[in-house]
Structure 1
């Protein structure tokens, strides 16, 4: 009798363990972040914006540098004709101007880096939030990142959702741009 009760108790406990030990399927995927940032339209637009700003502001500085080089060339030809004291005074002015141009180049570079860095950080933060909500919506337990900062050393291609994320992000960006365009059109029509 004791043996029978023991077998029944074990059977019940095994059955109960099996019932509670049901394992939920873990759905995982990965995103190639380097491809994502190359193909995401907003990231491309941001890069183009700062490239254009750099070229525009760089042209103004280049014109100033060109004038400086002409002045420096003129200085060398006029130095002997105008004497040593003139050459020393003019040489000091040219050195000061050269240093100011160098500082202006550095300041411009730093300004563009800070501005683009802040916008890029904001963009990356938005992408992370989007991927998080995308993962929740699609039922993923984990979405890993690969690319420049690889956190996945290997994954089967069937788990790559990079193209899906790019498409969804680009669609969201396009719809946001269309909404902005409509707001601008309405504002223009009211004027």
Structure 2
């Protein structure tokens, strides 16, 4: 039973956060439009009126309490599913071993009936494994979408309030931006605000 897995790897986290970071373009004639296509953007020389900042997605994933809570929740579900399936698998293996010991003393009809029963149990274990994997993946998609929404909604507001034209993302594991001046980084202030917002929502 090895299909249950968690996609909570550092690379997937970075990709999720890269998608979440918003590219804001607040023109004088536009109200508040945004784009999340930050992965193809690069830091370049721009007029001083067009402010560009970036967020370190590695730091964001490590420090954002909401994301950490979701990660722990999903990891606990994966562990429980693995434990449950392992227990069922071990029980099945014991039945198989018991049958193998007794097969020589059983009649042909008894052997056939036992083998059919064991085959059904094996199929059931495979279905349970697949269903658990599908359920975990659905939960991950739902929870990560909630994180995405939380980050993007805050960044839209934050970019508007501070006159940022673009909010890029930087990550060693997903280096869409090859270089970023540390003076343009706003990760800490964003994480602080997100955690305060999350704390107030939890209350």
Give TM-score scaled by structure 1 length.
0.74
Alignment match of 2:126 (pick from 102, 109, 112): 102
Which residue in the other structure is 1:67 paired with?
A: 91
Q: Which has the larger radius of gyration?
A: 1
Number of positions where the alignment pairs a residue of Structure 1 with one of Structure 2: 156
Which residue in the other structure is 1:46 paired with?
A: 70
Structure 1 residues 58-99: Cα deviation after superposition (integer angstroms, max 9, x where no partner):
333322222111111101001001133322221121112111
Structure 1 residues 2-40: Cα deviation after superposition (integer angstroms, max 9, x where no partner):
xxxxxxxxxxxxxxxxxxxxx762222101223312321
Unaligned 5+ residue runs, structure 1? Answer: 1-22, 179-191
Q: Distance in 2 between matches of 1:31 and 1:126?
A: 15
Q: Which runs of structure 1 show a deviation greater than 3 angstroms over 4 or more consecutive aligned residues?
A: 148-151
CA RMSD for the aligned pairs? 1.8
Tell me the secondary structure at the aligned position of residue 153 of structure 1: coil
Alignment match of 1:158 (pick from 175, 183, 193): 183
Give TM-score scaled by structure 2 length.
0.70
- Which structure 2 residues correspond to residues 1-191 of structure 1 after superposition, within 5 A? 25-147=49-171, 148-178=173-203
Q: Distance in 1 between matches of 2:183 and 2:154?
A: 21
Unaligned 5+ residue runs, structure 2? Answer: 1-46
